[in-house]
Structure 1
Amino acid sequence: MDQDSLPVVSVITPSFNRVDLLPATLDSVLSQSYRQFEYIVVDDGSTDGTWEWLNRIDDPRVKVFTHTNRKNRGQSASINLGLRHASGRYVVILDSDDLLAQGALAGHVEVLDKNPSVGMVYGQGYAVDEGAARLYQLFPSTHQEESDPNRLLLDCYIVSPGLCMFRKSVISKVGQLEETFRAAQDHDFVLRIAEVSQIAYSGVECFYYRKHGGTISANGKLTRWQNGFKILERAAARYPYPRSTLRRRRAVLYFRLGQVYFEKRMYVKAIFSFLTCSLLDPRRAIDVGLKGAKRPEMSVSTIHE
């Protein structure tokens, strides 16, 4: 195949039982002003008609895949299947309930083309309601990227891979998403990329995070924070993070566990988690607590911290 005919960008969407939300997601991709892309949608064993709906799409840019025997294997496995079929030199990973902003692909292709040392670029995003009306922006106007893995490990401020465009050669270097994680795999993924390449913030309006009824349950939150400890262990073994960074991140994880245990009325475990957090990093425990108590809906970190 002629190199000029290959897509520059591969957009990948994993989908499980989102037939009600997926059409808008698909439209946000297919309506991009930048045209040199392929759109890979991976159905993860849906039972709500998603697979049948996908197979009725008549657009050569859309490529539909599923797992063997249409098995449900989780979001990471679905994204990895998409990555194995991706032919673009850049990759966007967009959840099936989120939206790309107009100009997202064009803006970030330009950044990566001009900056070969950058392995990942991300832009401004907005939380939106079910009617796509803006609720709040994800980053303040003063936001700057320091390309420091320590900061990303501590604060998890890149709340969704949908904000990002990745250089596929860097993904090949760090490896695909961790399939044993059914939560927090996105944080692990962007962290590994930040450890081996430069990351950049473009300021380009690129992403809409749709808030809807399918919120994360208490059990889902518990899995996320428990996986956070595994991610921290792997990060410490992989990269020379200072001990202070690791200790402070561990404090945040115990704080978040305490919140979930309290929500589940597991008060003994909640108290133990809060006390452990305070011993590890008293000042950060207070800061995180105040931040969540003030206006949690305005904090990037309350989505995926």
Structure 2
Amino acid sequence: MSAPRVSVLTATHNGSEYLDRTIRSVLHQTFEDFEYLIVDDASTDNSLTIIHEHARQDHRIRPIAHPVQAGPPGALNLALSAARGDYIAILDHDDLALPKRLERQLEFMDRHPDHGAVGSAVRQIDGYGNTLRHQTYPLHPAAAHWGLLFGASLLHSASMYRRSLVERLGGYSTNHAYLCDYELLIRIAQQARITNLPDVLACYRRHDDQTSARHSQRQNGQMLLLQYALQAAWLHHRPSLEVFSAMRRWMYGHPPAEPALAAAAVESLRTLFGQYLQGFTPQPSDQEAVALDCARRWAKMAHYSYRLHPQFSRDCWREARRLAPNLKADLAFRRSLRRR
């Protein structure tokens, strides 16, 4: 029997509440030449029963029962070792793949052999399936690569990877239990291009019982250290951990209260951008894509600090407009600029 083009991988531990809907979303794909490997990672609910019920009705499903809990990286590596497709598509046990996901991502990967991974825009939904927001990710490979310095620039549960590359890299790292997806993406990006499609091809569910919610503090700590190490390795940029953490938190809405720390964070991003352009963007189109992404980060910092640090807010907005002259501020922020 010939190998399928795509291997879809799902790992679950006590995911029965949403698992049936997740499986059905894969079975309803417009592209049908796939296998679906579902690892039950020592669940104590009826997850394995749900998997076997679907497997009896569709031969493309390959159940894998793991008697001792291995955690996300171990369970995904188990599925990866059994995968036969040219590509692997990841779907978390509580998320949904929209019907054209495999078709669109497969077409892209076949046309772009220099790419190791492709993601997509996603629709965030709550536990009941209600839409919360649409989330986009960088569409230019250079912007996606640059974005890794600040977090995952592809959503794992909406990503398709080239299987041969992932296997050559050794799969998921068990040393990064809560960030194995981000750490793998970093290694992929060091070997091949990564990007996202503009299409919304998956639904990402936000709820209190998801892994990222239950382990958010530990995950954030690991993310901080991994990003700090990445900047040092790629760019030899070594601000203090305090300054780096302040810059990172500022981008997510929490500017530092101390003016000296805010000034150091501003200078750190300025230096980071300059060093990245020198080392990683040989083409003008790459430079433009990275500059636009950086401008948006400056704009966020300007917006989040206009009450606490008016002068730093102006400085950040000036940097944003220097990199992207046509960048628009939201109404509240424009009013704050006029008041000063």
Q: TM-score range by the shorter chain?
A: 0.7 to 0.9
Q: Is the 8 A contact 1:255 1:274 kept in 2?
A: no
Does residue 242 in structure 1 map to residue 235 in structure 2? Answer: yes
CA distance in 1 between counterparts of 2:239 and 2:213 reads 25
Instruction: Go from structure 1 to structure 2 and tell me whether the alpha carbon gap of 1:215 and 1:122 turns closer, same or farther (over 3 Å shift).
Output: closer
Unaligned runs of 5+ in 2: 270-296, 308-340
Q: Secondary structure at the match of 1:209?
A: strand
Matched AA of 1:63:
R
Q: Secondary structure at the match of 1:241?
A: helix
CA distance in 1 between counterparts of 2:45 and 2:29 reads 27
Which is further off, 191-200 or 128-137?
Answer: 128-137
Instruction: Report how many residues are paired.
Output: 275
Does residue 40 in structure 1 map to residue 37 in structure 2? Answer: yes
Higher relative contact order (CA 8 A, sep 6+): 1
Residue 100 of structure 1: CA displacement? 0.6
Please give the per-residue CA displacement for 1:237-295, whole angstroms capped at 9, x wherever unaligned: 8xx51133x6499745467789xxx9xxxxxxxx9x9899747524669955955999x
RMSD: 3.6
How do 1:281-292 residues align onto structure 2 when only pairs under 5 Å count? 281-282=265-266, 287=300
Does residue 151 in structure 1 map to residue 146 in structure 2? Answer: yes
Q: Secondary structure at the match of 2:53?
A: coil
Q: Is the 8 A contact 2:20 2:50 kept in 1?
A: no
Please give the per-residue CA displacement for 1:46-102, whole angstroms capped at 9, x wherever unaligned: 1111123222321211111122xx111111111110000000010111110111111
Q: Secondary structure at the match of 1:55?
A: helix
Q: Is the 8 A contact 1:147 1:194 kept in 2?
A: no
Q: Is the 8 A contact 2:119 2:159 kept in 1?
A: yes
Please, what TM-score do these two structures have when normalized by structure 2?
0.69
Tell me the percent identity.
Answer: 24
Does residue 104 in structure 1 map to residue 101 in structure 2? Answer: yes
Equivalent in 175, 191, 197 of residue 170 of structure 2: 175
Please, what TM-score do these two structures have when normalized by structure 1?
0.77
Aligned match of 2:62: 63
Q: Secondary structure at the match of 2:43?
A: coil
Specify the structure having the higher radius of gyration (Cα).
2
CA distance in 2 between counterparts of 1:293 and 1:97 reads 38
Q: Secondary structure at the match of 2:76?
A: helix
CA distance in 2 between counterparts of 1:98 and 1:222 reads 22
Q: Secondary structure at the match of 2:92?
A: coil
Q: Is the 8 A contact 1:41 1:63 kept in 2?
A: yes
Q: Secondary structure at the match of 1:96?
A: coil
Unaligned runs of 5+ in 1: 263-270, 295-305
Q: Is the 8 A contact 2:36 2:60 kept in 1?
A: yes
